[in-house]
Amino acid sequence: MKNNLPNLALAILRIGTSAMLLTHGIPKIDKLLAETISFPDPLGIGAAFSLILALIAEVVAPIFIIIGYRTKIATLFPMILMTVALLMVHFNDPFGKKEKAVFYLLAFLVVFLAGPGKYSIDKR
């Protein structure tokens, strides 16, 4: 009998982490629909474009990761976002403030390196 626990663990990590990230992204949709967009612009590309990139990383990519479709590509978006959050937005903050960004970065890095596992569209 083949041990499926590593595949189950990858599915739990992939789906759980992405679902948690959605709770940060979905409320930002209202900001995009607001008359005046107020959002941090750490890269100097404009608040609206920064918000759109954040929504891709926090809403669109996690949906792809949850279903396990193009998972390795999709994990790049939240990893880049969390790197920017860690190094640019929260660089001078205490670790407690950076902790969520570090957690998401590490979790998505594991999914990127290990792949989505057996329980994904990518493996069908």
Whole-angstrom distance, CA of residue 44 vs CA of residue 113: 30
**Residue-averaged pLDDT of the chain:** 94
At position 59, the amino acid (one-letter code) is: V
Domain boundaries, the chain: 5-114
Tens-place pLDDT, residues 85-102 = 999 999 999 999 999 999
Mean pLDDT of 40-57: 93
Say yes or no to pLDDT of 2 above 80.
no
At position 85, the amino acid (one-letter code) is: A
Whole-angstrom distance, CA of residue 107 vs CA of residue 103: 6
pLDDT at 1: 55
Say yes or no to pLDDT of 59 above 70.
yes
Tens-place pLDDT, residues 3-38 = 889 999 999 999 999 999 999 999 999 999 888 888
Decide if 40 contacts 47 (C-beta within 8 A).
yes
Q: How far is CA 62 from CA 45, 97, 109, in A?
A: 23, 22, 13
pTM of the model: 0.91
82 burial (CB, 10 Å; 0-12 / 13-18 / 19+) is buried
